[in-house]
Chains A and B, each alone.
Chain A
Amino acid sequence: MPALAPWVGALVTVAACYSLGSWFLVRLRISLRRAELPPLAFTLGAALLHLIVFAILALHIAYTGVVIAIPIAVAAAGVWSGDWRVPKAAEPPPRRSWFARAVGWILFAIAGTFTVVYIFNAWAPEISPDGSSYHLALVARYLRAHGFQAVPTNMYSTLSQGVELIFLPAYAIASLLGGDGAASGGSAAAMVHLAFLIALGLAIRAYANRMGHALAGDAAALLVYLSPVAGVVGTSAYVDVGAAAAVFAAFYWTQLWDEDRRTQFLVCIGLMAGYAYAAKYTAALIAVYAGGFVLWRSRSVRAVALVAACAAMMAAPWLAKNWIYVHNPVAPFANRWFHNPDLHPEFERTWTEFLRIYNVKDPSTIPWMVFVSGGAMQNPLGPVFLFFPLGLIALRKKAGRRVLLPAVILLLTYPANIATRFMLPELPFVSFAIALALEELPVAVAALLLLHAAYAWPRNLRSFVAPESWVLRRTPTRAALRSQSAENYLSSAPNYRAARMIERVVPPGEKVLAMSGVADAYTSREILVSYAGALNEQLTDTLASGWDEIVRPSRAQVLRFPERALRRIRVVQTAAMPKADELWSVAELRVFRGGREVPRAAEWRLRAFPNPWDVGYAFDNSEATRWRSWQTAAPGMYIEIDFGAEVRADEIRIESAADNPDVRLQLQEADADGNWKPIDVKLEEYTVTPETSLRKAAAHELQAHGVRYLFLHDPNPGAEYYAADPESWNFTPVARADGATIYKIGP
């Protein structure tokens, strides 16, 4: 049964999507052509099913029975009502020349062969980087919790999950039948994603047929379908192809609406545009296109409002979820505007900076990686896409103009993340434009596709791409059929072995601070990856105080002033930083009178801006912890003490690390009216030499947050210090393999 379980999960889910979409279209009294119904009903049904699953998770009723019964019932209802019947062809297909028919058969054979390869790859146990680390891990987590959970330690949980929610029933069914959890569940999810890829290809073909460009449609569909990036992503539990299918469907609905301007189509446009957002933030630009197109063609604000309202139905639940869980509707972005305790603006700055360049030293190599070698861009489009300028020739044709505009609009978000798969939403449009440009030359089209197929064939592809590229390199038939056990197959992946080591060593319910990611889907332990949440970053920073000279408090700024009574004071940062990575930090802020510290009292009230939630770290008497602005230090940031009563003092002492040398401080006092006035101070700077063990203090802090395990690889920062003297941290190494170590923290 493990071999068939993914099929059952995937087929039931795909059938439910198609059935729901068909039902909705019947209710809207929309009739589609024979070739159009399967892809458009499937994508529309996926959008609707995702809302149902969202509601189930929001209501916390995601028990196995519910999650399995819903898609089965939906699929059965479609069959019973007859809504899912594909209409007969209204008219015979246009006569083609023998050459065109021969080309068609060749293309069909190529597509079929690749489909077999794709099916086996999707069917094999899932171990894709993001699929196994968070797409599926979140699905598994929601299923364990029977609903949504706030996961502040994993910023990926704040991304919209419109495609993951379609994976969820497939995952639940396959896990139940397969009996091997994520191995079967992951395969089912990957197969659902493959269904999106097939739907995308069929949609491109159907659209081209409708526009009277059948050959161009076949070619464009194959250009997308065979592209190595689509092949590997579409056969994994990723979401990019799902997003691309939603985008193209939204576009398709705009074109259908434009033909006869029926209001029902506006509903479909809106739902698919909104679902594109739900699938992937960057795909939301199709809503801009759709709204603009409808406005341009109809001059009706009311029509645009209907599109927007329907789009909002799909997008708003995700905005609301984020608002409720992390107080930021568009998390993990815009944290400077939506300050929240779970995501640091500094994380966002460094993360988005990375996504814009992927540590590529020579940007001129990026196009080669995107088109041919993959490399740091992860996977290639295929060299035939170097012919993309030919697409401009398609501007001569109405169909070409129609597809090039959304291509340009969708490309706008690409610079924000230059990994090749972020081009998937625009790929159908570019492919169609290229194919349109060449459609009068069938031989050229055939040659181009043969070239593309030869390049993309896994055995050949291996020799074209960089070794680190993520592409389909083989057809894992034995693993798919489970004649090779899932455990055996997955064990070739280091991130899987790491996850299983954690599962074996760390008791249930424990949290693990990890300095690098693992295949979370294969462990039920909570993994706190060092950069993926505010708490994770804070704890990582605390640990670093034990080994990194620049992080530990080494500097004391002493603000002296004639003794006076104080009630409310602020230490205000006044300087602009020369570098964006210079954050303001305070390890301890102490008040003195006559050389003796004024004891911190229960009636004191502390505030900080920004990052008010962590202000306690500046007053906790621990040199291992520090309050940080977690965004570039800027004038006006402050830490405030409201003493609650008059306190006499003559000195404020601020202990901090050496990594914010350009910070300048001013002491202010609130007057009776609450206005802040500077206090004249004499600033003196000293050094701080901690006498106690920062290492043990750091370990204590981790334990205080319920983190009793640390996972890291040898190259991770600090690893050599932990390994050299684990006892000094109160660490005990409990497992080691593949250059990775798990430490138990504390007794």
Chain B
Amino acid sequence: MPVVRFHRVRLASCAVLIAAGLCACERWPEAYPVPAQQPTFEDAERWERIVHMTDVDAHDHFIGDIFDPLSANWRWTGKKPLIRLNAPAGVRRNYSIQFVIPDAAFRVTGPVTLTFLVNGHVLDRRSYSAAGPYTFEKEVPSEWISGGETTLGAQIDKTYKAENQPAYGFLMVAIGLKRI
């Protein structure tokens, strides 16, 4: 005599019911509120910031003489482009700038001299006798940066004026302070 007996249980129906029941247990979150806003962390020792003209917040750093629109990765400047940064004090930093003297301007101006500025101080002067891309880096005397807003810039001695355009200086790619 068999020990196990079948009852009239509709196994298929049970399976469907169990599956449906389990599916009903799925918890798909409706929506979440905005989480706590995380603090930002400064690291004065390792702080550096190069403002690329392509940065989404580049405009926030401009003080003047840097023009729209953004073309590729550069912007035209005027005679004396300036930006601002919140640089911590007391740490050695290099002034760093990447720029281009375009052919069109050079054909008009000939050799030019750029004066590199930090908080109004003249860091250096360099002459450029050919068109092309350039990078300039030099350490900033630490006493020039006292913390808080620091202005960086470059002044060109000769500008180029196209028809119906403002007086252009050079093409700015990036400018900022780099950790040494």
Contact = CB atoms under 8 A, between A and B. Distances in A.
Interface of A: 27-29, 262-264, 266-267, 302, 305-306, 308-309, 323-324, 327, 329, 339, 556, 558, 595, 600-602, 604-607, 612-613, 615-617, 619-622, 625, 640, 642, 653, 655, 686-689, 691-693, 695-697, 700-701, 725, 727-728
B37 interface: yes
A714 B24 CA distance: 47
The 3 lowest CB-CB distance pairs between A and B, nearest first, are A696-B41, A556-B56, A686-B56
A689 B49 contact: yes
Contact of B29 (A267, A306, A308, A612): A612
A267 B4 contact: yes
B43 A696 contact: yes
Q: Which applies to chain A's interface (DSSP): helix, strand, loop or mixed?
A: mixed
B43 A606 contact: no
A695 B43 contact: yes
A601 B34 CA distance: 7
B41 A693 contact: yes
23 contacts: A28-B3, A29-B3, A264-B4, A306-B6, A308-B11, A324-B25, A327-B26, A327-B27, A602-B33, A605-B30, A615-B32, A616-B32, A619-B35, A622-B38, A653-B56, A686-B56, A686-B58, A686-B70, A688-B55, A692-B41, A692-B42, A696-B41, A697-B40
B31 A642 contact: yes
Interface of B: 2-4, 6, 11, 22, 25-43, 45-47, 49-52, 54-59, 70, 86
A605 B43 contact: no
Contacts of A697: 38, 40-41
Contacts of A612: 28-29, 32
Contact of B41 (A327, A686, A700): A700
B33 to A, nearest CB: 6
B40 A692 contact: yes
A329 B51 contact: no
Given A264-B2, A696-B43, A558 B56 contact: yes
Given A327-B27, A613-B29, A600 B37 contact: yes
A395 B139 CA distance: 85
A689 to B, nearest CB: 5
A379 B35 CA distance: 49
Contacts of A605: 30-33
Given A309-B11, A701-B38, 6 more contacts: A601-B34, A607-B30, A621-B40, A688-B56, A688-B57, A728-B43
Given A264-B4, A605-B31, A689-B55, A620 B41 contact: no
Contacts of B28: 339, 612
Contact of A686 (B27, B40, B54): B54
Contacts of A686: 54-56, 58, 70
Nearest to B176: A689
Nearest to A604: B34
A227 B105 CA distance: 81
A607 B38 contact: no
Contacts of B45: 727-728
A620 B25 contact: no
A359 to B, nearest CB: 36
Given A27-B3, A264-B2, A693-B46, A620 B56 contact: no
A306 B37 contact: no
A319 to B, nearest CB: 8
Contacts of A642: 31
A124 B2 CA distance: 47
A305 B59 CA distance: 72
